[in-house]
Structure 1
């Protein structure tokens, strides 16, 4: 329960004056359950509020609305809450929660900050130097540690735009520590308004994401290596997640089939649009058999190219259960056929023709 509520002030006064709910009920002329509701956050009407305040010998505005209302109205002799056991417990709970939050924040490496727009004051949490390598007391000191390439876009103009738009932002940027080390930082920023809708504060949280950025860079390098290798070997690839009907297609597959990556198929059924109509049935039979047996397949077919020509393609695929066992993945490699592929396929085609003649 917040300390700035009617219910809290009433409970503190009851404890301080050693009054029971029944004594309050008798003095105000209502039922005991009604008083109990007030201490639980229930509303109180004006007449009962005036009688209650008179009985407790406090200002009724303060009792109902608190210190800020008294200050706004210019009422002298403002009442202060006594330090009762309830307030002590409440204060101790707040301090304990703040200590736990600060400890968790420091363990997670999260730095919080607040920029008071009215006073132009910048305040960082106590673990600021651990992240930035130095204390930061102003925006000017922050600009000094910002990486030159990021200072092009993250600057005073960006801060002005943030305040003007009043929209939250997430910024990834680099800083340079005193020893020359470069760190990647993620900052989540928001502008806070006063009751009149005017920007008064900018608050943010920042955290070191250097490890994540390094992992992303390493992954990008591995993907580039695989793409280069696929291009050199002439292998295109695709994977179909059957349960989600999601198709993932490599750039080399697009080159092999004459398709722009932006126009690549995104669903399995769309693959047939790139296969010669006379070859679709045989390929589909091979794929369905592999799906049924969770096995491999190999098929030779003609790929239909956008210029109305065709290219002979070998497709080798494998159907298997997904790692979590809740789906079936179909993965395939495609490449331009070699003369040996056509020679290997000829006896199989002849056997099929002979079998058809006998029937």
Structure 2
């Protein structure tokens, strides 16, 4: 329960004045369960509120709505909530939760910070040096460790734009540690406003994402290698996850079929749109047989190109159970057909007739 609630203030006052629920019920003229309901967050009507506040000798506005309401209405005087065992337990719980949160943040490498725009004061959490390699006390000190290439866009002007927009941001940037090591940092930033809608503070959380960036770099490098190899070999590829109907096609497949990669098919049914109408049935039969038997297939068909011409294509695929369950993955390679492919295809077509 929050300390800034009617129920909490009522429970503290009852404990402080050593009043029972029945005593309150008798004075206000209601049942004991009704008073108990108030201490659990239940609503109270105006007449009972006024009688209750008079009995407890407190301002009824403060009792129902708290300090902020008293200030907003410009009422004279303030009411101090007495320190009772309930408040001590609540305060101890808050301090314990904050300590656990701080420990969890620091153990996970999360740095929190706050920039007071009114006082121009920057405060970082105590684990700042673990991530940044040094303590940071001002924006100027932060600029000193920022990578030169990132300081082109992350600077005073970027901060001014952030504050003016009042919108949250996520920034990825590099810093240089005292030993020359470079770290990638992700910072999530938000601007806090006062009651009049004016920016008063900028708060943020930052975390070292160097390992993630390195993994992304290695993945991108390997993907580029595969794309280059596919380009040289002339192989386009696609994979279909049947349960999700998710289709992934390579850039080389798009080049082979004359498709803009930005408009690449995303569902299996869309593949047939790029196949000559007269060849679709035979290809679909081969694919369905491979799906039924978790086997390989090989088909020769005409690919319909955007300029109303066609290209003879060989497609070789394999259907297998996905490693994470009962879903089926269908993976295929496509390439432009060669004369030998047409000869082999004609021989395979004639073989059943010869055997019969």
TM-score, length of structure 1 as denominator length: 0.90
Determine helix, strand or coil for the equivalent of 1:136: coil
1:259-318 alpha-carbon deviations (Å, 9 max, x no partner):
332233333233233333333332222111111111101122233334444333221100
Q: Map 1:94-113; keep pairs closer than 5 Å.
A: 94-113=94-113
Instruction: Identify the residue that residue 158 of structure 1 maps to in structure 2.
Output: 158
Q: Map 1:293-312; keep pairs closer than 5 Å.
A: 293-312=293-312
Instruction: Identify the residue that residue 51 of structure 1 maps to in structure 2.
Output: 51
Change (3 A) 1:115 1:279: same
Instruction: Identify the residue that residue 147 of structure 1 maps to in structure 2.
Output: 147
Instruction: Identify the residue that residue 32 of structure 1 maps to in structure 2.
Output: 32
Displacement of 1:352: 5.2
Q: Map 1:270-349; keep pairs closer than 5 Å.
A: 270-349=270-349
Structure 1, unmatched stretches of 5+, are none
Change (3 A) 1:302 1:55: closer
In the alignment, the residues of structure 2 paired with residue 8 and residue 276 of structure 1 have an alpha-carbon distance, to the nearest angstrom, of 74
Displacement of 1:74: 5.8
Instruction: Identify the residue that residue 207 of structure 1 maps to in structure 2.
Output: 207
Change (3 A) 1:311 1:133: same
Q: Map 1:215-230; keep pairs closer than 5 Å.
A: 215-230=215-230
Instruction: Identify the residue that residue 117 of structure 1 maps to in structure 2.
Output: 117
Aligned length: 355
Structure 2, unmatched stretches of 5+, are none
Instruction: Identify the residue that residue 8 of structure 1 maps to in structure 2.
Output: 8
Displacement of 1:322: 1.8
In the alignment, the residues of structure 1 paired with residue 94 and residue 147 of structure 2 have an alpha-carbon distance, to the nearest angstrom, of 39
Change (3 A) 1:58 1:309: closer
Determine helix, strand or coil for the equivalent of 2:134: coil
Instruction: Identify the residue that residue 127 of structure 2 maps to in structure 1.
Output: 127
Change (3 A) 1:231 1:33: same
Change (3 A) 1:234 1:34: same
Change (3 A) 1:113 1:352: same
In the alignment, the residues of structure 1 paired with residue 271 and residue 227 of structure 2 have an alpha-carbon distance, to the nearest angstrom, of 21
Displacement of 1:104: 0.8
Displacement of 1:335: 1.7
